[in-house]
A = this chain, B = another copy of it.
Amino acid sequence: MSEHGGNGAVEVASGGNGSPALTKKDFASDQETRWCPGCGDYAILATVQQFLPELGVPPERTVFVAGIGCAGRFAYYMNTYGVHGIHGRAPALATGLALSRPDLSIWVVSGDGDSLSIGGNHLIHALRRNVPLKILLFNNQIYGLTKGQYSPTSEEGKVTKSTPFGSQDHPFNPLALALGAEATFVARTVDTDRGHEADVLRAAAEHRGSALIEIYQNCNVFNDGAFDAVRAKGREANQIRLEHGKLIRFGVEDERGVVRDGGGRLSLADVADVGEDALLVHDAHDPNPSLAFALAHLAERPTGPTPIGVFRAVERPLYAEAMTAELEKAYADAGPGTDDLDALFRSGDTWTVE
Mask for A278-315, Cβ within 8 A of B = 1, else 0?
00100100101111011001000000000000000000
Chain B residues positioned under 8 Å from A182 (CB to CB): 170-173, 176
Contact, CB under 8 Å: B125 / A120: yes
Contact, CB under 8 Å: B128 / A172: yes
- Chain B residue nearest to A316 in the complex (CB): B170
Contact of A323 among B129, B168, B178, B322 (CB under 8 A): B168
Contact, CB under 8 Å: A169 / B264: no
Contact of A124 among B177, B179, B289, B294 (CB under 8 A): B177
CB distance from A197 to the nearest CB of B (A): 24
Chain B residues positioned under 8 Å from A177 (CB to CB): 124, 180-181
A binding-site residues for B, Cβ under 8 Å: 117-121, 124-125, 128-130, 152, 165, 168-173, 176-182, 260, 263-266, 280, 283, 286, 288-291, 293-294, 297, 316-317, 319-320, 322-323
Chain B residues positioned under 8 Å from A181 (CB to CB): 172, 177, 180
CB distance from A151 to the nearest CB of B (A): 12
Q: List 15 A-B contacts (CB under 8 A).
A: A120-B120, A124-B172, A128-B171, A130-B170, A168-B320, A169-B320, A170-B316, A171-B182, A172-B181, A173-B182, A176-B180, A288-B294, A288-B297, A290-B290, A290-B294
Contact of A120 among B121, B168, B266 (CB under 8 A): B121
Contact of A293 among B283, B293, B319 (CB under 8 A): B293
Chain B residues positioned under 8 Å from A316 (CB to CB): 170
A120 to B127, CA, bound (A): 13
Contact of A264 among B119, B152, B173, B260 (CB under 8 A): B260
- Chain B residue nearest to A289 in the complex (CB): B297
17 more contacts with CB within 8 A, not counting A124-B172, A177-B181, are A119-B121, A120-B120, A120-B124, A124-B124, A125-B152, A129-B168, A129-B170, A170-B316, A170-B319, A176-B180, A179-B180, A180-B181, A265-B286, A265-B291, A288-B294, A288-B297, A290-B290
- Chain B residue nearest to A169 in the complex (CB): B129
A173 to B181, CA, bound (A): 8
CB distance from A331 to the nearest CB of B (A): 16
A263 to B266, CA, bound (A): 12
